[in-house]
Each structure stands twice: as structure tokens, then as C-alpha cells.
Amino acid sequence: MVLSLHHISKSYGQQAVLNDFSLSLRAGELLTLLGPSGCGKTTLLRLMAGLEVPDQGHVYVDGEDTSGWLPQQRRVGFVFQNYALFRHMTVAENVSFGLRVKPRAQRLRPGAMQARVQELLSLVQLEGLDARLPHQLSGGQRQRVALARALATEPRLLLLDEPFGALDAKVRRELRTSLRALQRQLALTCVLVTHDQKEAWLLSDHVVLMQQGRIEQQGAPEVFLRSPASPFAASFLGDGI
């Protein structure tokens, strides 16, 4: 899956959030969006998911313009910072939600759906917890449920918006190591939003530093480590590099 954003602009009222923004993402790559609050990272993620529509520009997936597609047409998985789990549903019901709301003709049979849920719970190391409710889980376990739910429909693109932000340092380290291993194992194409520079250097194939809705610098982590491209990049990255 190859994703390309061509000359994307997005405003809310008089506030411009993205300005003539263009970016390409290679298949199987983990790309991280880094930058100060308000620079447009989450808006960009929502545009990729189809939760927002650009004022100008186009979103291409494998060469096809998907700018006007609904979220359910895009085969995109989204992991939110607050997990967004359904509190009244068990772990298994949360994970299978995307499978159960598919059109009838596309739904798995009950046995196959149950097998898919168990496969995903094993993948994220939550075996045996399928009957628990979200309030009975730790923060790290809830985040793993959110990841399994996002993977259930076999997305072409996985989007992660500050997925570890609410976790303590030890759990955060464990989960980001698990995420990177899982991403490589499944050859997932991923976009991660984070404020944590160390997280960006450790996880990413490609990093994009944003400022005021534009790209300030991009490249492999080692490019940032060698030479910030501008005074803003040097100031923002600071001790993180």
C-alpha cells in the first residue's frame, strides 16, 4: 500500500491548519509525524482516515484518489490516544466490532469470527482475557485491545495518534517494542503521531517534523541526528537529538 498526499490544505474557520502539504509513504514503512502542538499532525491523520475532508488537494492510495471516500471504504485502522473502547463490551466484543458491522455479505461466519478474535488476542499477548470488560484491564492491556480492534479488519494502513501518551514509562517502553515487532511481522504500513522524540527515533523508518501545517524537515532518524535542517528544527529537537 502506497499513500500519497498531494497539495493538501485544511482550515477551520480563519485558522489554517495544513498549507499545501504533500507527502508520500512507502508500503511497509513506519512513518512518524513529529512537531509542536497545533502544527497539524492529528488533522493530517484524520484526513488519511477519511474523518476529515481536505479543503484542497487529494489523498491517493495505490494511485487511486480516495479524497471523497468514506472511512469504511478506506480499510484504515485507527488507534486513538484515549483507546476509545466500548465500556459495555467485553474484550472479544471490542476486538470483533469492526468485523460485526461489515455488510452481511462480507461478514465472517461466527466460528471464523471467533477464531479471528483469538488470533488477534494472541498476537497482542492478551490470551485468556476475552471475557473481561475494559475497566478490568490495565492501561497497557486496554491499549493492546485497541490495537487488536484496529487490526481486525486487516487494514491497508494503520494510524496511531499518541497511542502511548497515557501510559507510565515502563509500560510505554514495552508497548512500543511490541508495536515495532508487530509492524515488521505483519509488514504493516503505519503512521504514528507522537510528541516523544526518543519514540520517533526508536520506532521510525521515516520521520516528518512539522511546523504550522508544513514540513520543516523529513528523513530517516539518523538524518535528524546528524544535522537539523533549520534553526526551528535545531531548537525544537534540542536535547532529543
Query: What does each of the 241 residues of the chain score in pLDDT, given as a tens digit?
Result: 688 999 999 999 999 999 999 999 999 999 999 999 999 999 999 999 999 999 999 999 888 899 889 888 888 999 988 888 999 999 999 999 988 888 888 889 999 999 999 999 999 999 999 999 999 999 999 999 999 999 998 898 999 998 887 678 888 888 888 899 999 999 999 999 998 888 899 999 999 999 999 999 999 998 887 888 889 988 888 755 4
CB of 113 closer than 8 Å to CB of 99: yes
CB of 183 closer than 8 Å to CB of 79: no
* Residue type (1 letter), 45: L
- Cell numbers standing for residue 172: 510505554
Secondary structure E strands in 112-231: 157-161, 190-194, 206-211, 214-219
- The domain spans of the chain are 3-75+155-240, 86-154
Mutual angle of helices 139-151 and 110-123, in 10-degree steps: 130
Top-level class of domain 3-75+155-240: alpha beta
Q: How far is CA 152 from CA 39, 70, 101, 149, 163, in A?
A: 31, 18, 12, 5, 17
